[in-house]
Amino acid sequence: MKALQYEEKLLWEKERSDTPGVDLPKPKFSPLRTGFQAREAIGLPQLSEPEVIRHFVRMSTWNYSIDHGLFPLGSCTMKHNPRLNEKLARLAGFSQIHPLQPQESVQGALALMYELRSILSDLTGLPGVALSPAAGAHGELAGLMTIRCAHVAKGEGEKRRVMLIPDSAHGTNPATAAMCGYQVRVIPTTETGRLTLAAFEAALGDGSDVAGMMVTNPNTCGLFETEICEISDLLHKAGGYFYCDGANFNALVGRIKPVDFGVDVLHLNLHKTFSTPHGGGGPGSGPICVSGALEPFLPAPIVVKEGANFRLLDCSDRPATCGRLKGFHGQFGMHVRALAYILSHGIDGLRAVSDKAVLNANYILAKLRNDYFVPFNGYCMHECLLTDRLQKENDVQTIDIAKALIEYSFHPMTVYFPAIRPGTMLIEPTETETKQSLDRFIEAMKAIALAAKDPEKRQALHEMPLSSPRRRIDEVKAAKFPVLRYWARLPNPNVFKNSIN
C-alpha cells in the first residue's frame, strides 16, 4: 500500500488461510454439470470472510466513476445519475416484479412503460416507440431491422442493399449495417467536419439500391449537420430511410425534435441522455422511435392502452413486426430511472440540460483553443474536438496527454476518435459540471501543453502517470500475449475449458 492506494493481489496469488470462511462436509452426490467433480480442488485459496471482503472492497477503490470527478469521455455522455432515480427504481412495486407475471398484476409497471413511450415520442416527434432494445447498439440493430422489414413489405428487400454511413460514424454503425446484410457505402466528411450535399449526392447515385443512411446528429466531431434537411429530403425522394444515431441526443433534448430534420428512425440511449447508469457492462437501454410509416414493423413487444388497462402486444398481435429482440420487455429498471429523470426535470429542465451541456463544451473549447489544435472552425455542440497537432512538434502525442491527465487526477477524454483526423481528443463535460470543475480540468490541460514546450519537463510526459499503482501498460502486447499462468494452476484446465464451451 502506498498513501492508502492499495496493491491487491489476485485471488490466485492469495495465501491459504488456516481459518477459511466456509468449511462444508464432503458432498455425497454425483459430479457437477460444470465438469468438476464435487469438492475437486480447483486451485482457489481458502480465505476467511474478512479477507474476501477486503479483497473486493480494495479492488472497488480502483474504479473511477462520475461520482469521483469529471468524466470527460466524448460521445459517451457520462453524466451524473440523480439518487432519486435509484430510490424510485428500488420501490418494491418495481424491483420485485417478474416479467412473466400476469399482465393484470403489473398494470403499474405497464403504465410506466406506456408513459415513457409517450414522452419519448413527444420529445422526438416520432409516433412509434419500442422500449425493448437493451442498449444503443441493440437499438441500431432494431432500427435497421425495422427499415429492412419496411423495404421487404414494399417488395424492395433484395433491391435495396446499400446503407450510406459517414466516415466519422460510431464504429457500431457499419458493424450493425453489415450484420443486417447491408453493404456499407462511406460518405466522406469535408474539412468542415460535416456532411455536404455534394458528398451525399455522390454517394447516393441514383438511389435505387440505397436502403437508408445512418447519421449521428450532432455528429462525432461535436458538430450539428447544417445541411441535414436537404440531405434527408434527397434520401426520401430516392426511397431511403434516415436512421439517426441518438447517442448525442443530450445536445438536443427539449430544444429540437429529430423529426424536424427528417429522421425516420432514432435510437435513444436512456443510459446517456436520461442519466441511468452505464459503463462497465451496463445495464443500458436503447429504445427506438420511428415514423408512422415504420411503426407496424417495430420489434415486439409494444405497450398499448386499451380503455383503462394496459397490455403488451407481442408478435402474434403484430404480424408485420421485425420480431422479438430480447427475452422479455427491455431493461425495466432503466425505464424507471429514465422516467424519474424526465419527470423531475420537466420540459424546461430538459431544455436547460441541453443548453448547459452545449455551454460547458464551448467553454472548454474557448479556453483551450490556443493550447491545442482545433480542427474545425466555429462553435461546437455538447462536445469539443481537439488534436495533438501542436504538441507533436515537440514529440508529445495524444497518448502522452491522456496519460498525463491521470497524473493530474482526471480520467482521460476519448482519444483517437473520430479517426477522420490524427491524434484526436473528444471532450464531453455534460451539464452537471460546475465552472470550478471545468476550470480545474482546463488548468491541467494547459499545464500539460506548457510542459510539452519545455525540454526539461517534456520527458516526464512520456513516463506519466508516475503516482498511480500501475503506470503505462502496453495494451496491444497485453491483447496479443495474454498471461495464462493462472489458468495453468487449475488441476485440470481442460475440464474447465470444456465446461465453458
Q: How far is residue 106's CA from residue 150's CA, in Å, rounded to a whole number? A: 32
Q: How confident is the model at residue 496, as a pLDDT? A: 40
Q: How confident is the model at residue 47, as a pLDDT? A: 80
CATH for 83-343 is 3.40.640.10
Strands (E), 345-388: 384-387
> What tens-digit pLDDT sequence spans the chain (501 residues)?
456 677 788 777 776 666 666 766 766 666 666 665 555 555 567 788 888 888 888 888 887 888 888 999 998 888 888 999 999 999 999 999 999 999 999 999 999 999 999 999 999 999 999 999 998 999 999 999 999 999 999 999 999 999 999 999 988 999 999 999 999 999 999 889 999 999 999 999 999 999 999 999 999 999 999 999 999 999 999 999 999 999 999 999 999 999 999 999 999 999 889 986 665 556 789 999 999 999 999 999 999 999 999 999 999 999 999 999 998 999 999 999 999 999 999 999 999 999 999 999 999 999 999 999 999 999 999 999 999 999 999 999 999 999 999 999 999 999 999 999 999 999 999 999 999 999 999 999 999 999 999 999 999 999 999 888 778 888 888 889 887 765 554 445 454 444 333
Q: How confident is the model at residue 500, as a pLDDT? A: 38
Q: What is the pTM of this model?
A: 0.89
Q: How far is residue 157's CA from residue 262's CA, in Å, rounded to a whole number? A: 22
Q: How confident is the model at residue 372, as a pLDDT? A: 98
Cell of 258: 429529430
Phi first, then psi: what are they for 73, rounded to 5°?
-60, 125
**Per-domain boundaries in the chain:** 83-343, 348-480
Q: How confident is the model at residue 44, as a pLDDT? A: 65
Is-same-fold flag (83-343; 348-480)? no
Residue 382 and residue 357 in contact, taking contact as beta carbons nearer than 8 Å: yes
Q: How confident is the model at residue 499, as a pLDDT? A: 38
Q: How confident is the model at residue 493, as a pLDDT? A: 47
* Count of Cβ atoms closer than 10 Å to residue 392 Cβ: 16
Q: How confident is the model at residue 224, as a pLDDT? A: 96
Q: Are strands 210-216 and 162-166 parallel, antiparallel or unpaired?
A: parallel
Residue 165 and residue 187 in contact, taking contact as beta carbons nearer than 8 Å: yes
Q: How far is residue 173's CA from residue 265's CA, in Å, rounded to a whole number? A: 13
Nearest to 20 by CA among 45, 41, 47: 47
Do you find a cis peptide bond into 102, omega within 30 degrees of 0?
Answer: no
Give the architecture (CATH level 2) of 348-480.
Answer: Alpha-Beta Complex (3.90)
CA angle in degrees (0–180, nearest 5) for 210-211-214: 100
Q: How confident is the model at residue 6, as a pLDDT? A: 72
Q: How confident is the model at residue 498, as a pLDDT? A: 41
Q: What is the CA radius of gyration of the chain?
A: 26
Cell of 494: 481442460
Q: How confident is the model at residue 469, as a pLDDT? A: 76
